[in-house]
Amino acid sequence: MAVHLLLGLLILSMAGYSSASFCVCKPGVSPDMMQKAIDYACGAGADCGPISPNGKCYNPGSIAAHCSYAVNSYFQKNAAKGATCDFQGVATQTNSDPSKSLLYFFY
């Protein structure tokens, strides 16, 4: 009985753990460099429709939010093929889901 209880507690404690990896633009990067990362990602197969002016993810309309969306879309589609999350130093990998954090949308 104690083993089952311990196992149950272990499973519950791991429920919030995620090994997913996301790609986001770094704070403090110039808007010009972020725009270059967006242009590259969108031109290389990222799904950038949602960050177009009428897209469902256009707002907040910050360059940082759009940058993170574009590089993450590219990274998610191409990581299995060996793509990295660097974009000439503009982006970085994280295990925290950026859609759950306001940090990535308003810096």
pLDDT tens for each residue of 70-104: 999 999 999 999 999 999 999 999 998 877 765 44
Mean pLDDT along residues 2-21: 43
**Mean of all residue pLDDT scores within the chain:** 81
- Taking the mean position of all CA atoms in its chain, how far away is CA 72? 4
At 9, is the pLDDT very low, low, confident or very high (cuts 50, 70, 90)? Answer: very low
CB 98 within 8 A of CB 24: yes
